[in-house]
């Protein structure tokens, strides 16, 4: 078992900075006393973490309460001030941010129909006529013929239903 506090802490933390969870090269690592030595904090491992020198310098001799505040202020996105390894962070593939399009957000009526049909399980209407009246009954305020046809077409075009000779099968 490593005997130097820094080595021990680095081992226990899997080689990662305590705060930002990035790979921490030993040259960048330092021992941070959670309760600062100046405030009577001990040198025991239970009061110490290994972290980037940058964050160690930032936290300095803050009280534990202030340090916790700093951590909480990062909202789970803790990045060390001058990045214990900014290069590695930058080279990580970024998750693609996709903006929802109109296509992936079907209008409310359509989602309502799909949800209702899903709920019905085995008692789904088997005929086009009953499917139509089932859909119509979901909208007590009234559904125009055009809207009804559009919904049925939408069910068909999205592959949720297959209509053959007025018989309806489901792929929900
Ligand atoms: Zn860090």
Give residue 39 CA to ligand 1 midpoint distance, Å.
Answer: 23
Give residue 40 CA to ligand 1 midpoint distance, Å.
Answer: 24
Give residue 52 CA to ligand 1 midpoint distance, Å.
Answer: 5
pLDDT reading at 91 higher than 50: no
Give residue 6 CA to ligand 1 midpoint distance, Å.
Answer: 14
Q: What angle do CA 67, 70, 72 make, to 5 degrees?
A: 110
pLDDT reading at 87 higher than 70: no
Helix (H), strand (E) at residue 33: strand 29-33
pLDDT of residue 90: 47
* Structure confidence by residue, pLDDT tens digits, 99-142: 555 444 457 888 888 888 898 888 899 999 998 988 888 888 88
Cβ distance 34 to 65 under 8 Å?
no
pLDDT of residue 38: 86
C-alpha separations of 54 from 60, 90, 97 in Å: 10, 18, 30
| DSSP codes of every residue in 56-121 | HHHHTT--HHHHHHHHHHTTT----TT-TTHHHHHHSPPPP-PPP-TTTS--HHHHHHHHHHHHHG
pLDDT band, residue 96 (cuts 50/70/90): low
Give residue 13 CA to ligand 1 midpoint distance, Å.
Answer: 12
pLDDT of residue 122: 84
Give residue 80 CA to ligand 1 midpoint distance, Å.
Answer: 4
pTM of the predicted model as reported, rounded to 2 decimal places: 0.48
**Residue 40 tokens, joined:** 């009577």
* Structure confidence by residue, pLDDT tens digits, 57-86: 999 889 999 999 999 999 989 888 876 655
């Amino acid at each position: 078992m490593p005997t130097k506090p820094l080595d021990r802490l680095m081992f226990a933390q899997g080689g990662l900075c305590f705060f930002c969870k990035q790979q921490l090269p030993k040259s960048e690592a330092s021992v941070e006393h959670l309760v600062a030595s100046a405030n009577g904090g001990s040198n025991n491992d239970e009061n110490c973490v290994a972290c980037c020198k940058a964050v160690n310098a930032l936290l300095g001799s803050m009280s534990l309460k202030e340090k916790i505040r700093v951590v909480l202020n990062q909202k789970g996105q803790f990045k060390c001030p001058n990045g214990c390894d900014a290069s590695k962070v930058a080279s990580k593939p970024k998750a693609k941010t996709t903006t929802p399009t109109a296509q992936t957000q079907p209008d409310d009526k359509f989602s309502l129909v799909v949800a209702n049909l899903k709920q019905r399980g085995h008692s789904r209407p088997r005929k086009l006529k009953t499917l139509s009246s089932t859909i119509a009954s979901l909208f007590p305020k009234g559904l125009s013929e055009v809207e009804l046809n559009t919904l049925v077409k939408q069910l068909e075009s999205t592959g949720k239903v297959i209509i053959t000779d007025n018989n309806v099968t489901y792929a929900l």
